Amino acid sequence: MSDHHHKETFVTKYVFSQDHKMISKQYLVTGIFMGIIGVFMSMLFRLQIAWPDHSFSIIEAFLGRHQDGGVMSPDIYLALVTIHGTIMVFFVLTAGLSGTFSNLLIPLQIGARDMASGFLNMVSYWLFFLSSVIMVISLFVEAGPASAGWTIYPPLSALPQAIPGSGMGMTLWLVSMAIFIASSLLGALNYIVTVLNLRTVGMKMTRLPLTIWAFFVTAIIGVVSFPVLLSAALLLIFDRSFGTSFYLSDIFIQGEVLHYQGGSPVLFEHLFWFLGHPEVYIVLLPALGITSEIISTNSRKPIFGYRAMIGSIIAIAFLSTIVWGHHMFVSGMNPFLGSVFTFTTLLIAIPSAVKAFNYITTLWKGNLQMNPAMLFSIGLVSTFISGGLTGLVLGDSALDINVHDTYFVVAHFHLVMGVSAIYGMFAGVYHWFPKMYGKMMNKTLGYWHFWLTAVAAYGVFFPMHFIGLAGLPRRYYANTAFPLFDDVADVNIVITLFAILGGAAQIIFLANFFISIYKGKKATQNPWKSNTLEWTTPVEHIHGNWPGEIPAVHRWAYDYSKPGHEEDFVCQTTPLKEGEEES
């Protein structure tokens, strides 16, 4: 806190910092680094899918003993898709997105000097860092990294005899994820406590920006569901190392019967998806929160239906914890349970539809300022709709039967949570970069980045629905074993070409990001003419955020273009004029 001044050393300022703004940057840079690995892996396996027998020197260069003459082995292919999924879902879109923006914005937008516990916040980041390091180390073990899919269903993930990646690679995966979960829980508890207790004078819950609502509810889902994944992982560790049979039963492999008896892999699926499905919203809600803020600011209009937006965030969060079974319609689960999960799953479409319509109405009769952050936010609404709608097919137990685990699913979830969430993350970076680094990012590069990414994302995932509908299973190393699928080969080439375009477009972002940190134009205090509190702090970071008193709040965050005000924005700290009604 600002009153007890202590001298900062390099280590306390940049390494073991307890300042939420620094921790936020640490999360972002670590997330970007992991993202580079995750995206690069997808480039490698897309090469394999498109040209299965072709030799690539890039594969030869990076995959070492896991390739033969530039053609990757089936095991490393499975490892690449596994680690790609793990890294993107957890390390980039959970820690990289939520960790970055919850940390940056919660204290700044609610008017607090820092997180409730700066120390726990620091521990949370360093646990995340440690888990990232372990995950990266796991890429280099002798038999290759974990390769049972990011969902690590046993028995495949439990038995090294079944796939080489289930040896040391899987052990490291589990250790890394256990540490990751601890990190995530510490972070989430901190966010919840901070939002509940440290709001400034006048910052009622109903005046909070939607970003904060999204981060707050996300943290609650995390606290509810991540411990279940931890227990699932612990039981799996027991089965793997101590001979228990939680998930395993009646197994005959490589000529011998194993001792396991009485367990069930379906139990693991339940436990996994009890986190796994809320995880989709842990990834998506922060992105939606960020987008709400950015669309409103750049439309110069209040977000349409503020209370309905809060209501739908809460409804989505609640429903997200009772729909996990829709990943298991054909798992052998009782069909009646399938009916229940179909019902709860399709209910989610209602709050989602409300959100989509509210975004579109916010744009209506706005005065849209096309900053790169705004482009990505509009892009998010588009992919959220495109990806969300196919959820009506997959969430319907009957229709799921024939598309389950095909590329249709891959296309669906990449659009609705992958691309949407990453758009939200990019939008957040472009929008709050001035707050993080005191510099501005270049807009021209931002435009190029967006348009190339947008064309590539649809170019990849739109045709992908069709190969799924053609019956092509996901996680096939090659489609050459089936003449039936010879006619999807061309589509796969198109997809890979768009994927390479999309991957290359990210280089533009990286260049813009890192060079702007050093050479970007200096930021002004409130570059986007925004209402929220973070723009009342000085550009130069100070510990405690505001030099003097924390400002009091007199209105909600969305008084844009309010009649009776000269400017088209009214900061939350501006008192109501005489006779002015609060919106």
Partner 1 sequence: MTAILYILLAIVIAVAIWQVASIFNLKGVIATEKDNNTQGILFALFGIFFYGLMIFSFWKYSVILLPDSASIEGESYDTLYMVTMLLILIVQAITQFLLFYFSFKYRGIKGRKALFYADSHKLEMIWTIVPAIVLSGIVLYGLSVWNDIMDPSDAENPLIVEVYAKQFQWEARYAGEDNELGLANVRNIKGINTMGVDMTDKNALDDVPVRELHLPKGRKVIFKFRSQDVLHSAYMPHFRAQMNCVPGMVTQFAFTPSMTTEEMRLNDKTIAKVDGINKIRAEKGEDPYIFDYLLLCNKICGSSHYNMQMKIIVEEEAQFNAWLKDQKTMAQVVVQ
Q: Which of residues 140-179 bind partner 1 (CB under 8 A)?
A: 148-149, 153-156, 159, 162-163
Question: Measured between alpha carbons, how far is residue 498 from residues 42, 288, 303, 504 in Å?
Answer: 12, 26, 34, 10
Q: In what helix (H) or strand (E) does residue 305 lie, and over which residues does it extend?
A: none
Among residues 196, 482, 525, 577, the one that binds partner 1 under rule CB under 8 A: 482
Among residues 2, 55, 197, 402, the one that binds partner 1 under rule CB under 8 A: 402
By CB atoms closer than 10 A (0-12, 13-18, 19+), residue 471 is: middle
- Smallest separation, CB 531 to partner 1 (Å): 13
State how far the Cα of 424 lies from the Cα of 282, in Å rounded to an integer: 13
70 in contact with partner 1 (CB under 8 A): no
Buried b (16+ CB within 10 A) or exposed e, 107-139: bbbbbbbbbbbbebbbbbbbbbbbbbebbbebb
511 in contact with partner 1 (CB under 8 A): yes
Tell me which stretch binds partner 1 (CB under 8 A): 85-93, 417-425, 556-564, 573-581: 556-564
State how far the Cα of 467 lies from the Cα of 474, in Å rounded to an integer: 10
Tell whether omega for the bond before 547 is within 30 degrees of 0, i.e. cis.
no
358 in contact with partner 1 (CB under 8 A): yes
Residues 226-285 touching partner 1, rule: CB under 8 A, are: 248-253, 257, 261-266
582 in contact with partner 1 (CB under 8 A): no
Tell me which stretch binds partner 1 (CB under 8 A): 93-101, 190-198, 232-240, 335-343: 335-343
State how far the Cα of 583 lies from the Cα of 573, in Å rounded to an integer: 15
Is the CB of residue 321 less than 8 Å from the CB of residue 352? no
- Smallest separation, CB 252 to partner 1 (Å): 4
Tell me which stretch binds partner 1 (CB under 8 A): 121-129, 133-141, 295-303, 413-421: 295-303
375 in contact with partner 1 (CB under 8 A): yes
State how far the Cα of 278 lies from the Cα of 222, in Å rounded to an integer: 8
574 in contact with partner 1 (CB under 8 A): no
- Which CB sits closer to partner 1, 116 or 373? 373
Task: Work out the angle at residue 168's Cα, subtended by the Cα atoms of residues 254 and 64, and round it to the nearest 5 degrees.
Answer: 95
- Which CB sits closer to partner 1, 332 or 575? 332
Among residues 521, 525, 575, 576, the one that binds partner 1 under rule CB under 8 A: 521
- Which CB sits closer to partner 1, 242 or 364? 364
The pair of structure tokens assigned to 101 is 């923006």
Helices 20-50 and 420-437 pack at an angle, to 10 degrees, of 140
57 in contact with partner 1 (CB under 8 A): yes
369 in contact with partner 1 (CB under 8 A): yes
Residues 194-233 touching partner 1, rule: CB under 8 A, are: none
Residues 525-544 touching partner 1, rule: CB under 8 A, are: 527-528
Q: 342, 217, 233: which is closest to 282 by C-alpha?
A: 217
Cite the beta strand spans of 239-361 per DSSP E: 252-253, 256-257
Among residues 33, 51, 62, 129, the one that binds partner 1 under rule CB under 8 A: 62
469 in contact with partner 1 (CB under 8 A): yes
552 in contact with partner 1 (CB under 8 A): no
- Which CB sits closer to partner 1, 147 or 184? 147
By CB atoms closer than 10 A (0-12, 13-18, 19+), residue 262 is: exposed
385 in contact with partner 1 (CB under 8 A): yes
Among residues 459, 493, 497, 574, the one that binds partner 1 under rule CB under 8 A: 459
473 in contact with partner 1 (CB under 8 A): yes
- Which CB sits closer to partner 1, 197 or 444? 444
- Smallest separation, CB 307 to partner 1 (Å): 8
Residues 106-145 touching partner 1, rule: CB under 8 A, are: none
- Which CB sits closer to partner 1, 163 or 177? 163
Is the CB of residue 51 less than 8 Å from the CB of residue 38? no
Is the CB of residue 59 less than 8 Å from the CB of residue 67? yes
Is the CB of residue 40 less than 8 Å from the CB of residue 503? yes
Among residues 270, 301, 327, 555, the one that binds partner 1 under rule CB under 8 A: 301
- Which CB sits closer to partner 1, 106 or 323? 323
CA 574 and chain centroid, separation: 34
